[in-house]
Chain A
Amino acid sequence: MINRNISLNRGSYKQPNIFGYYGNFGGAYVPEMLYRNVEELRDQYLRIIYEDSFQQEFKALLKDYVGRPSPLYHAKRLSEHYRTKIYLKREDLNHTGAHKINNAIGQVLLALRLGKKRIIAETGAGQHGVATATICALKGIECVVYMGSKDIERQAPNVARMKMLGAEVVPATSGSQTLKDATNEAIRDWINHPDNTHYVIGSVVGPHPYPDMVARFQSVISEETRAQLKEQEGRELPTKVIACVGGGSNAAGAFYHFLDEESVELIAVEAAGLGVYSGHSAATTRLGKTGVLHGSKSLVMQTEDGQVIEPHSISAGMDYPGIGPLHAHLFESGRARFLSATDQQALDAAFELTRLEGIIPALESAHALAALKEIRFNPKDITVLCLSGRGDKDLDAFMKAFEVQPKNSYEQDQSVI
């Protein structure tokens, strides 16, 4: 019999209940074929990741290999533009160019301690695939990355990087041939290799304990932010924290140590694609309904018949039809505010940051930047914006945007699509 008191404990923002629920969202909706793998992780992850030897190795790699702590940079010209004080948390300066490496390192170290000999991962834009292939190269462990065959075409440079790093890139040819299908294929691979393989999920999605585990590995972002604010501002708490949400891992990391600080306003920004109601969008909290996707109950974009919809965003990392259960809970409870930015708004925001600060952001992060226009700031506010990645991988999209709009038009006309 289940102890109902335990199972009905609703979990907190920082810690799901023992069945993996944050409020109404989470759980582990996995077929029996995955039960043992998921159970092993669930039973071991907290013990392993808080062992001294794990923490030492993890922290050393984050410092010397990734280059952490990432700077908390006071973006003065951007701040002036919005008449407030904005700090950028520079995850773009991490090795491999995004926050994804924090989680990839954590999970691969964990997998090695579980005795696993083979790593699999899914990837959309390729950032998580590159991060995973990187740490696998460093550790000399086999790495297989599933990637939608459409994304393989769209993201050629990252495919080349993964191959150069020694990973096998397997095209996902089923369904819509993008991130969600790559995730399905990775899960199937895991079902077929139950003994020697660990699946490194790239965001705070998937069955319990993945959302919690990934959030913990990414929580280094807000842990550093607190310390850096203390040093730079003499206070640990900002007024606002802004982050983009694809699956939600950089946002979970940027929010984590502020989740229980009610004075801190948390703002999550989703991709609205061509417009929330255009039929080409990835704004899950606006369009999604409660459902089950990739092993957890969360908000899912789906048809009336419960078939999962292929979302759209100019940014492959935002192109996911769900969000992590923590974020569904933050949305439902009102603890975080959810905004969205269109493809065009993200492009404009990317150009704006580039011209004001000399920083080319990833298109994903540009969604968070685009939200600055939607938010009312007090000049005294201190806002931390998670700059989750750099824009090198998005030059194609930026160049196309240059072609359709002459230089500087982004400043004059925000409505062109």
Chain B
Amino acid sequence: MSRISQLFKKKKERILNIYFTAGFPELDSTLTLMKLLQENGADMIELGMPYSDPLADGPVIQSSGSRALCNGMTIAKLFEQLKDFRKEIDLPVVLMGYMNPILQFGFEKFCATCAVAGIDGLILPDLPEHEYELEYEAILKKYGLDFIFLVTPETSDARIRRLDAFSNGFLYAVSSSSITGKDKDFEEVDKYLSRLRSMNLKNPVLVGFGIKDRLSFQSACRHAAGAIIGTAFIRALENSASLKESVKGFMDAVLK
């Protein structure tokens, strides 16, 4: 059973997955932040691989990515940083990124390197399920990586079932058909999430996009196994004098 599935087996609710961009705010803060998140109560980590043209991300995450690229972050560099991370990090870790840099790296080589490093899964928002099924599913399976699809309130039931069937680990529910970082109307989110819940999907659901504090986290947890926080966490790091204090402050505010 994958590390992600084990987590959901052990803990059925209030799962908190924190997103941050690798190489931000400093090139070598990647591992430091992972450790701090683990110490401060995160259940899972979504590590963003910076890209010049991140279509599905909002301005805050994009600018963290630009800074990471300026800092010199690349996929090869990231794998160097992740070489021994499993000695210190037990949390499930998924990589989030865009197809182009991975195609350049070589898709299979990328998956193989992920597996060796101890990465658990991938989120690639611009990989369509048609291509996934045709070309990539077999490679991901070969290296034992979970692949997580996104669904939105506009995704039809039939398509949700299809994407759920393709996904492993969890299903990523975008809280509105919207890029990351925007405030969401809780009531609408509620309706959408209860619809997802009533579908009895194969995978647990994590809510992403627009979750920023204790209140929105709790609201998301009413109908889903947990949530993903990205933009708000990046904001907390933007002008951080001490990563240690920023992470602790942020996590306490969400969880306590």
Contact = CB atoms under 8 A, between A and B. Distances in A.
Interface of A: 2, 4, 7, 19, 27-33, 35-36, 174-175, 180-181, 184, 187-188, 191-192, 194, 289-295, 300, 302, 304-308
A178 B144 CA distance: 40
A372 B176 CA distance: 52
Nearest to B101: A306
A300 B51 CA distance: 14
29 contacts: A2-B130, A27-B130, A27-B131, A29-B127, A30-B128, A31-B55, A32-B125, A33-B150, A35-B152, A36-B154, A36-B155, A174-B62, A174-B63, A188-B58, A192-B178, A192-B179, A289-B104, A290-B103, A291-B104, A292-B99, A292-B100, A293-B100, A295-B55, A295-B126, A305-B101, A306-B103, A306-B104, A307-B51, A307-B101
Interface in B129-146: 130-131, 133-134
A32 B174 contact: yes
Contacts of A302: 100, 104
A16 to B, nearest CB: 13
Contacts of A2: 130, 133-134
A307 B159 CA distance: 31
B40 to A, nearest CB: 30
Count class of interface residues, chain B? 35 or more
Contact of B134 (A7, A35, A306): A7
Interface string B107-138: 00000000000000000011110110110000
A305 B102 CA distance: 8
A306 B55 CA distance: 15
Interface in B44-82: 51-56, 58-59, 62-63, 66, 69, 74-76
B225 interface: no
A32 B155 contact: yes
Nearest to A290: B103
Contacts of B2: none
Interface string B164-207: 00000000001001110010000000000000000000000000
Contacts of B59: 174
A288 B63 CA distance: 25
A306 B130 contact: no
B154 A306 contact: no
B130 A33 contact: no
User: Which among B53, B102, B125, B174 has the greatest number of chain A C-beta atoms within 10 A?
Assistant: B53
A4 B134 CA distance: 8
Contact of A19 (B52, B130, B174): B130
Given A33-B179, A300-B100, 16 more contacts: A2-B130, A2-B133, A4-B134, A29-B126, A31-B56, A31-B125, A31-B150, A32-B150, A32-B155, A33-B150, A291-B103, A292-B100, A304-B104, A305-B76, A307-B101, A308-B53
A175 B52 contact: yes
A243 to B, nearest CB: 27
A7 B155 CA distance: 23
A307 B55 CA distance: 13
Contacts of A305: 74-76, 101, 104-105
A352 B76 CA distance: 49
Contacts of A304: 104
Contacts of B62: 174-175
B179 A188 contact: yes
Shortest 4 CB-CB contacts between residues of A and residues of B:
A306-B101, A306-B104, A31-B125, A31-B56
Contacts of A308: 52-53, 100
A4 B135 CA distance: 11
Interface of A is mostly: mixed
Contact of A292 (B75, B103, B105, B159): B103
B130 A191 contact: no
A33 B133 contact: no
A195 to B, nearest CB: 9
A306 B150 contact: no
Contacts of B150: 31-33
A191 B63 CA distance: 19
B20 interface: no
Contacts of B149: 32
Interface in B9-68: 51-56, 58-59, 62-63, 66
B147 interface: no
Contacts of B159: 35
A192 to B, nearest CB: 5
B75 A33 contact: no
A238 B208 CA distance: 56
A222 B63 CA distance: 44
Contacts of A289: 104
Contacts of A307: 51-52, 69, 101
Contacts of A191: 55-56, 177-179
B49 to A, nearest CB: 10
A141 B104 CA distance: 41
